[in-house]
Structures are given as C-alpha cells and as structure tokens.
Amino acid sequence: MIAILSSLALAGDPDIPFSRYELDNGLDVTLSPDTSVPFVCVNVWYDVGSKDEVAGRSGFAHLFEHLMFNGSQHADDDFFAPLQPLGARLNGSTTLDRTNYYECLPSEHLPLALFLEADRMGWLLPALTPEKLQNQKDVVRNERRQNYDNPPYGQSWLEILKNAYPEGHPYHIATIGLHEDIDAASLDDVSAFFKKWYLPNNASLVLTGDFDEPVARELIARYFGPVARGPAPEHLKPPAPAVFTEERRVRATDDVPFERVWVVWHSPALYAPDDAELDLLSSALASGKDSRLYKALVHESQIAQDVSAYQSSNAWESLYVISAQASAGHTGEELVAAIDKVLAEARTRPITQGELEVGRTAYEVQFFGSIASIQGKADLLNGYITRTGDAGYLKNDLGRYRAATAEGVNAALARWLPPDRRLVLTIGPEVK
C-alpha cells in the first residue's frame, strides 16, 4: 500500500492556480478560485512575529492577535459576532516569525469578510480603548497561565527557547511573552507597534474558494484600497546562527509523576538545505511502532511511555527535538542514554531506503491532505509568499522531499545532531 500511495503521489504534480497583483498601497493580493465548494476563505498574513519585538515589550505580536478581534472604527463590536451566525470559521495565530488571520464562510458573504478585515487593518486604533487593552492583557496573561505556567510540563518550550538562544536573541522569548512585559504595555506602546507593522505594505491577502475573480478584485479595491500605506518597516537582520559549543543540561521541577526529557539541537531554517531531510529523519526515528526510537524505548525496553522527534522549522533557524516521557521507575538519564544509543547505532547502521520511502509517503499524504481544503490552500500560498516571495513555491517545496536520498538523511543526522553540542532539558518531580 505504501508503494502504491507513493507512486500515485509521484504520478502527477499538485497545482494551485492563482493570479497575483499589488494594490497601490502595497498590499500583496493572491486570488485562487476553487468552485468545488460554495465557500470562500479570506486569509491575511502580516510579516511580523515575536522576533520583531524589542526588549521589555515581549508578547506584543500575540497581544495584537487578540486586540484585532475587539472591533475597529466602522465595526466596533466583537469580530466574531457578525460572522459566526453565518457559519463562518475564523481565527488567528502568531508565531516567532509571522501573524495571520482568516475567515472561511459561505461565498455570498465575501463582501462582509473583506470589509471587516480591511477595517481592522486600516482603522483599528480609533476603536482601541484603555479598557479593551486591559481586558486583553488579562486574557493573554491568563492564556499563558493555562498553556505554559500551570499545565504539566507546560514550561518546556519556554525553557527550550531560553536555553537554546542567548538573551537578546529574537528567538529567546516565546511568542506568548513575559507577564511583566504584557502587564506594562501602555496604549501608546501598542499603538506604536500597530503603526509600525500592521500595514498593507507589510501584509499579504490570499483569497481562495468560490468567487468570481473580477468581482473579488473590485471588492478588494473598494475595501482595502483606501487603507493608507505606511513607512516600510525595517526588519531585523537575522543574527549569526546560535550554536551550542558543548552539551548543556538543565533540570526544572513540576508537579508531575514522571520525568520527561527534551534533547535539542540547532538545525537549518525552513526551506534551507537539510530541513526536509531532518523531517524525513524524524519519521525513521519516531513515527510509528516500527520506528527506531519507539522500538527501543517504548516497545523493547519499556523505559518510555512515548517518544517523538521533529524538526521545528522557523524562518531564520530551527530546532531539532527528540522528547520522551519516562515510564514508572525509570529516569530521564536512562531515556537520554537510550536515545544516544539509538542515534549512535544510526551512524553505523544508517537509515535505509525503505525507511526513507515510508517517511516520504507519510509526508506526501499529509501534504496532499493539507491542500485538499480551501483554507489549507490559502495558508500554504500565504506562507510561501511571506517566507519565499513566491506564491508558486509548491513544486519546489514538495520537490525537496522527493529529491531527498537516504544518504542525504544520514548526512543530515551526522551534521546536525552531534552528541556533544546540544541542550538536554529534564522536567520532573522534586527530588527528595
């Protein structure tokens, strides 16, 4: 079955037809009609993430993800209120590198979605009050408590970023931000951040689904055309890649019954050479019961309850992570030793062509599944535009995985996962 799926995927290249143009105010617009369903998706990306924040003002990009749903000058109401009764699916998200918003809804309501998106792009600040700001600061701080401070092992990503990147590095602080920075944010602070980054000339709009292209162009010109262009924001230049010069071991405690470990290496940026190879390595190491780490740690020795491996890709540089949770009676030290043994064996018994094909097929299934929906297509197109400048990057992206070889995967393992230059984070109960 795996071979059949792979040959089917390779038999024809996927294609997302689109047209692309720019408004006078600098807004990048991409239109990709798809009449297979009577829905349309409006998808906006801003080229700003938490890496663009300044010292003492962390969490601002994510804070704006919330403020953008609190009303604008000509629609001063909860953003969800007019859309959800129509059956719309909408949300936003923020990462280290970018911010996005989307609305997917029945096609006849496209004008409303475009109007609301344009209004908060151009006229958010007149409706932003101290009361709204304080409310959302409280919401964001509570979100941090719920997702990071209080859940078991929730602090893991905060600790990984803090210890993988030096203080002052744009990736040092997680996107959620620090409590004290969020609490200190003033109306003037957030207004200045909005004026700098949330501009049509720092944004891209992708429209996918069931729409008439000339009508869509007219609507986009009507609603987004009047939004004023701003001074081109000056993005930070990527700093020199962070490196581990030795193994760094960090232990944190939590109210948890078992130890969990994260073994972390610096790795190549999204779309850079070896980024795809490390994705495929993850499959061989930890995807499924036949993967090497799963067999060694979970099935055979039973020292771990679970194990995972993944390439966490970012725009400037990435992190490669292997994580496992100890079974009762076992320790994080045992897990790290067992992980090291599997990696050492992989250097003498390399990843095989068969393991590579399993990973490649799994990736293609996931990839084709992601572009089966108009929402997936919109996000993919906008990601390509923001990170590569090329909305048609799909074939290049998929081609990275199709061109990968077992030799390349093994070389990436040797190059990026040295046993003596990494971070080992352990979170477990208080040692008595």
Q: Could you tell me the CATH number of the domain that includes residue 401?
A: 3.30.830.10
Contacts of 318 (CB under 8 A, 6+ apart): 266, 267, 268, 269, 270, 275, 311, 312
pLDDT per residue rounded down to tens, the chain (432 residues): 233 333 334 446 788 999 999 999 999 999 999 999 999 999 999 999 999 999 999 999 999 999 999 999 999 999 999 999 999 999 999 999 999 999 999 999 999 999 999 999 999 999 999 999 999 999 999 999 999 999 999 999 999 999 999 999 999 999 999 999 999 999 999 999 999 999 999 999 999 999 999 999 999 999 999 999 999 999 999 999 999 999 999 999 999 999 999 999 999 999 999 999 999 999 999 999 999 999 999 999 999 999 999 999 999 999 999 999 999 999 999 999 999 999 999 999 999 999 999 999 999 999 999 999 999 999 999 999 999 999 999 999 999 999 999 999 999 999 999 999 999 999 999 876
Q: Which domain holds residue 404?
A: 247-428
In a domain, 68, yes or no: yes
Last residue of a domain, one of 224, 259, 276: 224
Residue that has been written with the tokens 């399993």 in this structure: 358
Residues 305, 184, single domain; the answer is no
Residues 156, 303, single domain; the answer is no
| pLDDT for 228 | 98
d(C-alpha 341, C-alpha 111), whole Å? 58
CB distance 229 to 200 below 8 Å: yes
What residue spans of 145-186 are helical by DSSP H?
Answer: 156-164, 179-184
Q: Which of 22, 21, 18, 47 is nearest to 34 (CA)?
A: 18
Residues 260, 310, single domain; the answer is yes
Estimate to the nearest angstrom the gap between the alpha carbon of 31 and the chain centroid. Answer: 23
Q: SS3 for 285?
A: helix
Query: Largest Cα–Cα distance in the chain?
Result: 70
In a domain, 261, yes or no: yes
d(C-alpha 45, C-alpha 389), whole Å? 13
Please name the helix (run of DSSP H) or strand (run of DSSP E) that holds residue 40, with its range, or none: strand 39-46
Residues 215, 259, single domain; the answer is no
In a domain, 13, yes or no: no
Count Cβ atoms below 10 Å from residue 160 Cβ, excluding itself.
20
In a domain, 150, yes or no: yes
Residues 149, 274, single domain; the answer is no
Residues 164, 275, single domain; the answer is no
In a domain, 328, yes or no: yes
Last residue of a domain, one of 193, 224, 255: 224
CB distance 80 to 419 below 8 Å: no
Q: Which two tokens stand for residue 410?
A: 């093994």
Torsion of CA 351, 354, 356, 360, to 10 degrees: -170
β-pairing, 260-267 with 422-428?
antiparallel
Q: Which of 72, 57, 23 is nearest to 202 (CA)?
A: 23
Last residue of a domain, one of 224, 258, 282: 224
Q: Which of 9, 290, 60 is nearest to 183 (CA)?
A: 60
In a domain, 7, yes or no: no
Count Cβ atoms below 10 Å from residue 221 Cβ, excluding itself.
14
d(C-alpha 360, C-alpha 277), whole Å? 10
Residues 307, 188, single domain; the answer is no
Residues 122, 78, single domain; the answer is yes
Total count of domains within the chain: 2
Residues 372, 320, single domain; the answer is yes
| pLDDT for 395 | 94
